[in-house]
Structure 1
Amino acid sequence: MPAAVRGGSQVQARPRGKSPPSPKRAPARRPAASAQPRPDGAGLSPKHALIAAAGVLALSLVGVLATGGRGERIAETVAAGVDNRFGQAGFKLRAVHVEGASPMATPDIVAAAGVYKDQPVLGLDLEAVRQQVEKVGWVKEARVVRLLPDTLVIAVVERHQLAVWQHSGRTVVIDERGQPIPEADPGRFPTLPLIVGAGGAEMAPGILPTLAQRPRLMERMEALVRVDNRRWDLRMKDGSIIQLPAVGEEEALMQLEQLDQRSHILELGFERIDLRNPDVVAVRPRQTAPAGQLVAEGA
């Protein structure tokens, strides 16, 4: 009993008898002064905001570990509060820079990113933004970088536009692998080669580089037509046809070059050149007007 009385009376009496000196009360006054900016966050510098956010995020992590699923909801709420605090400190999205994209592709990339002005920059999920950008047909690959305090950089590798493919009443732009680029307007690519027919998109990357080495032929070609998904016909601007074999296309084009060097057949005109037989080049001349029929001058 004496021990209980001594512990109760003397321990409580000593703090009362020794009142805290004035220097010890000073720390209680400091938080009151520093707490003034808290209602609107206007007095919080970016540096202090980062330090405060680090502490809050650490506490939220402890909450997640301690409370499981309930902690995850708490962490989401805390993260939203941290984003707001950073926004008040000036970490709001002001600019999006897109690098490596053409002017036609840039609007689609920005729209796919799904970001908006004054969005908290530190709350952006960069991986999610990258995945959304890479779903855009123009984009081969993307990288997203956050530049504090207010900028997002989206660097992309754009898919090369190879040709315009026409099939079943539908016209699309295809890339170097023959894959469609849905966002590309074919009407804005008048200089791209025209591919026609089923299977043409998949097979075009194999033959177009070979044709590109022959500019004299390319400038006269109107379309590259896939026949029975086996071989190609070259339809020329003057209406003539060059028939290529199913196998050995480059060798057949070399034969055509040799023929053109000897006779300038591409300039003289023809109705059809059949290169399907590697041993024989069959040329059908353009039909002339019947005897006695007048031909307009210059025709």
Structure 2
Amino acid sequence: MLAVRGKRGKRVRDPLGAVAAEADGARVLPRPLRKAVRFLVSLGSGRVRFPAHTGTIAAVAFFAATGFYGMSLGGHTQNVAQASTTAAGFAIEDVRVSGNEQTSEIDILQQLGLDGTTSLVALDIIEARKLIAELPWVQGVTVRKVYPSTIEVTLTERKAFGIWQHGSDLSLIERSGSAIAPLRDNKFAALPLFVGRDAETAAADFYDEFSRWPEIRSRVRAFVRVAGRRWDLRLDNGIVVKLPEHDVARAMKVLSEMESEHQLLERDIAAVDLRLEDRTTVQLTPDAVTRREVALKARDKMLKAQETERKKEGRI
């Protein structure tokens, strides 16, 4: 097929060639396939040459791709990546933890499953944060890789406000009432104790209200929630103060005045009932009741003796 050049030196295909080919009955390939066919013809005739070792490299790449695909299907990609990067010197050797008071470094290592062979490169930061955040004291956490072998963990921990007794279980709680963790030792013994159902959710507001009576609040051993509606105070000497459901301030004012004027809470009593607005009821201890009965009998005996004596003297 002849070609002629235009005025600007470009080759111009003879448009009559395609017409002639169609007239001869020859099949003409679509334009997008012509380059591919010419390349295959050149490859078959040896006019196209590849660099040395191209076949070897292509075979290695093919088998490598096949291997990675198989590992991916079998779920072993992470293991292979971890083993290879650990062997290259990226094993995690140091975990630096800051911001922790109640969370130990051992807890973090166990949560992450670090065993000395874990690769820093293969460590999933998002998953690591998620695992650490599951620890009971952790409120917020950031995890950062420091190459070649260090992890930096920064914690924000929850704050214990009080102790909540529900049944026979003791738990540390936040101001919001959310349980943090079971109480394991005496480290938090100075925190206020709240007892009963729903006591944890109402604890903070009720405790803050008692800041107006610090002398009495300091003597409270337990704040007991009764029927989810009102509170009893169990004092350090065993006295129970029964508060009303409403107008606690009125009841506490009465108690404070009685303590100031009569030292009521130092007496041998079992309970002070402030639930009724028009009267205050004081319950004696069993020993006090016994002593009172003995005193009343002695008084009655003395009165009878005096009456008998007057009769003998004829005054009656």
Cα distance change on mapping 1:96 and 1:195 into 2, 3 Å = same
Give the deviation of 1:264 after TM superposition: 5.4
Instruction: Write out per-residue CA displacement over residues 45-70 of structure 1, whole angstroms, 9 at most, x where no aligned residue.
Output: xxxxxxxxxxxxxx9xxx7xxx9x94
Instruction: Tell me the residue number matched to 1:226.
Output: 225
Q: How far apart, CA to CA, are the structure 2 residues paired with 1:180 and 1:111?
A: 23
Question: Structure 1 residues 237, 79: CA separation in 2 closer, same or farther (over 3 Å shift)?
Answer: closer
Aligned to 2:245: 246
CA contact (8 A) 1:138 1:184 kept: no
Report the more deviating stretch, 78-87 or 218-227.
78-87
Relative to 1, partners in 2 of residues 1:283 and 1:99: Cα closer, same or farther, differing over 3 Å?
A: farther
Partner deviation per Cα, 1:194-221 (whole Å, 9 max, x = no partner): 1111121222132223335644223211
Partner of 1:136: 135
After superposition, residues 8-27 of structure 1 pair within 5 angstroms as none
Which residue identity does 2:205 align to in structure 1?
Answer: G
Deviates more, 1:221-230 or 1:158-167: 158-167
Residue in structure 2 matched with residue 53 of structure 1 by the alignment: none
2: CA distance, partners of 1:119 / 1:201: 42
Any gaps of 5 or more consecutive residues in structure 1?
16-24, 29-58, 294-299
TM-score calculated relative to the size of structure 1: 0.63
CA distance in structure 2 between the partners assigned to 1:255 and 1:180 by the alignment = 34
Aligned 1:106-145 pairs, distance under 5 A: 106-145=105-144
Q: Which residue of 2 aligns with 1:48?
A: none
Query: In structure 2, what is the Cα distance between the partners aligned to 1:157 and 1:170?
Result: 26
Alignment of 1:141-160 (within 5 A): 141-160=140-159
Which residue of the partner structure matches residue 97 of structure 2?
98
Shift of 1:121: 0.7
Contact 1:96–1:152 (Cα < 8 Å) also in 2: yes
Change (3 A) 1:161 1:247: same
Q: Among 280, 283, 308, which residue is 1:282 paired with?
A: 280
RMSD: 3.9
Would the aligned equivalents of 2:170 and 2:182 in 1 still touch at CA under 8 Å? no
TM-aligned CA distance change 1:74 to 1:198, over 3 Å? closer
Distance 1:118 1:250, change over 3 A: farther
Q: Which amino acid aligns with 2:160?
A: Q
Match of 1:54 in 2: none
8 Å contact 1:269–1:285 — kept in the other structure? Answer: no
Distance 1:72 1:212 in 2: 65
**1:170-196 C-alpha deviation (Å, 9 max, x unpaired):** 222222222222354154421121111
CA separation of 1:151 and 1:266: change in aligned 2, threshold 3 A: farther
Correspondence for 2:85: 86
User: What is the number of residues matched between the two proteins?
Assistant: 237
Higher relative contact order (CA 8 A, sep 6+): 1
Q: What displacement does 1:227 show?
A: 0.4
- Shift of residue 81, structure 1, vs aligned partner: 4.8
Q: Deviations over 1:239-286 (max 9, x none)?
A: 112222323445644554565555555556754344435x55626275
- State the TM-score, normalized to the length of structure 2: 0.60
Contact 1:164 1:186 in 2 (8 A): no
Quote how far apart the aligned CAs of 1:107 are. Answer: 3.6
Match of 2:30 in 1: none
3-state secondary structure, aligned to 1:131 = helix
Q: Percent identity?
A: 24
Q: Residue 121 of structure 2: SS of its match in structure 1?
A: helix
Task: Give the whole-Å Cα distance in 1 for the aligned partners of 2:185 and 2:137.
Answer: 13
1:94 shift after superposition:
1.0
